[in-house]
Chains A and B, each alone.
Chain A
Amino acid sequence: MSDGCGAPEQTAVVTGEDTGDQVVVAGKVTGGEGALGGAYVRLLNADGEFAGEVQASPEGDFRFYAAPGEWKVRALHRSGNGEATVDAAGPGLHQVTIAVA
């Protein structure tokens, strides 16, 4: 068990990755010129209620371990904001890309 509450290092998803029984919502933040690093990515439930936040890696990667459900991911960056939705119905890897403009 993690003895802290800060987010672990954000890493890219690997195709075919086995998430076990975890519901993983993961993906990349992109800007005008491809991957955008350092954005603050917020996980919001269907009602817009905040569930978690991580800072994307320099390559724009982010990852959440959520409960099953429909989620919105919202990215904040000094260059702009963006959001996307993802249906994470059960265990497995649910990938999503957020375009920031």
Chain B
Amino acid sequence: MSREDVLVTTQWAEENLNTPGVVFAEVDEDTTAYEGGHIPGAVRIDWKTELQDPVRRDFVDKEGFEKLLSAKGISNDDLVILYGGNNNWFAAYAYWYFKLYGHDKVKLLDGGRKKWELDGRDLVKEVPDRPATNYKASDQDLSLRAFRDEVVDAINTKNLVDVRSPDEFSGKLVAPAHLPQESAQRGGHIPSALNVPWAQTANEDGTFKTAEELKELYENAGLDTSKATIAYCRIGERSSHTWFALHELMDLKDVKNYDGSWTEYGSLVGVPVETGSNGGK
């Protein structure tokens, strides 16, 4: 896949705000951002209340996804352009989620909300009124999603890519540096994991690095591209960003996102945990 198959530029986005069949969707955990101003015509998807099961720690099921997209006025034939704050973490998670449920006409806005704002482009408060659709989802494509037992089996076998910051990887911190550090789980990482922080795949303005730059980054980090790869972080959204880089931009075939990530693994009884900055090699 080429970059144009999976990403659109902010310039392209601005030129296609009113193109029929193109739907912009802002995906965030902090929905006040959307309320304060969003890309004209964009609908809102709330990562926490709309993409997560309200009771169990899991996704909304297929019927729930169909109901959500129908209510948002998104049809199966629409090209959905996802964007959000936090360097597109939650938008990348939604992208992976859309792919999981079989929606292939989806792209990310390169640089997300940050790039749009840094460009000085317009944000509006008007909420679009899109007529409901009758969206049909496919069953989850589990070739894109890793669960805990597969992750434990992958130690020293597959590539494990821990995309958290070096201080989270080593165990000094148990959450990103913009969050308070209270936590019950253990600090550290999955043995044999490489530490390639998600931020190394992005430029300062939030756009993704080129496929060539990404290849060099992962080669230098010791990623064996002949092997299957599982990416993880703390709750699975930063690793969706890396899954996007590996699977969509570098075109590696067998890449899964472990959405259970460190909040699950770091709380499991009996599994091995490594601390320090050494990692995979």
- Which A residues lie at the B interface, using CB under 8 A? 1-9, 22, 38, 40, 42-43, 45, 49-55, 63-67, 76-78
Contact = CB atoms under 8 A, between A and B. Distances in A.
Contact of A66 (B30, B119, B177, B235): B177
Contacts, number: 98
Contacts of A78: 117-120
Nearest to B47: A4
Interface of B: 28-30, 32, 47-48, 85-87, 89-90, 114, 117-120, 165-167, 172-173, 175-185, 197, 199-200, 204-205, 233-235, 237-238
Given A76-B204, A78-B117, A2 B165 contact: no
Given A1-B184, A64-B178, 12 more contacts: A1-B182, A1-B185, A2-B179, A3-B48, A4-B48, A5-B234, A6-B90, A9-B32, A40-B118, A50-B197, A65-B179, A76-B114
B237 A50 contact: no
Nearest to B177: A52
Given A50-B197, A51-B167, A76-B118, A3 B177 contact: no
B118 A77 contact: yes
Contact of A5 (B86, B114, B200): B86
Contact of A51 (B47, B85, B89, B165): B165
15 contacts: A1-B182, A2-B175, A4-B48, A5-B86, A5-B176, A6-B28, A8-B179, A52-B177, A54-B178, A64-B177, A76-B114, A78-B117, A78-B118, A78-B119, A78-B120
